[in-house]
């Protein structure tokens, strides 16, 4: 069930930073957040579900990025039409981790799927995270894509339309 309530995207990303920064520091990872292009920070959304999706995606990046690597979260607000109170928001998680092989990318959203490589045996996981994220994003009427190159990293993009708060 999706429960839309008022949410401030600045507070959401700071909460995420607070949760993940200790892991980033422990693994010597650089973590950057960019929300500079957002005009309307106050939106109506299911903050719990969006946080769940972003934490899962970022946690995957932490697991699959070697020490010294970098991870970023970018939120971009798309231009909106005059008179409409909904905007498109793009959430993009980028890392320079191990990446995903071309043969596996088509199965990345399937439940219990994990790429069969030497890293799998070293990293805990059930293979459900990406499937759950995709289900949440779909239930919010959004879309989710993965672009990756083995040995170079991954870019995961989530597109959502959210009602933004006006100055009423």
pLDDT along the chain (168 residues), means of 10: 92 97 96 94 95 96 95 92 80 95 74 50 57 93 94 95 78
Task: Judge whether 77 and 88 are in contact, CB under 8 Å.
Answer: yes
CA 164/CA 144 separation, integer angstroms: 21
The predicted pLDDT at position 111 comes to 59
pTM reported for the whole predicted model: 0.88
């Amino acid at each position: 069930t999706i429960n839309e309530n008022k949410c401030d995207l600045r507070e959401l990303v700071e909460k995420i930073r607070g949760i993940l920064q200790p892991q980033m520091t422990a693994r010597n990872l650089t973590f950057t957040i960019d929300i500079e292009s957002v005009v309307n920070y106050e939106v109506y959304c299911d903050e719990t579900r969006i946080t769940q999706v972003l934490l899962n995606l970022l946690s995957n990046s932490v697991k699959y990025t070697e020490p010294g690597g970098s991870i970023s979260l970018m939120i971009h607000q798309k231009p909106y039409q005059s008179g409409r109170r909904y905007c498109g928001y793009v959430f993009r998680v980028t890392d320079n981790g191990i990446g995903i092989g071309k043969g596996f990318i088509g199965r990345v959203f399937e439940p219990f799927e994990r790429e069969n490589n030497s890293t799998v045996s070293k990293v805990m996981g059930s293979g459900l995270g990406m499937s759950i994220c995709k289900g949440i994003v779909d239930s919010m009427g959004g879309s989710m894509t993965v672009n990756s190159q083995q040995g170079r990293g991954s870019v995961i993009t989530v597109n959502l339309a959210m009602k933004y708060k006006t100055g009423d």
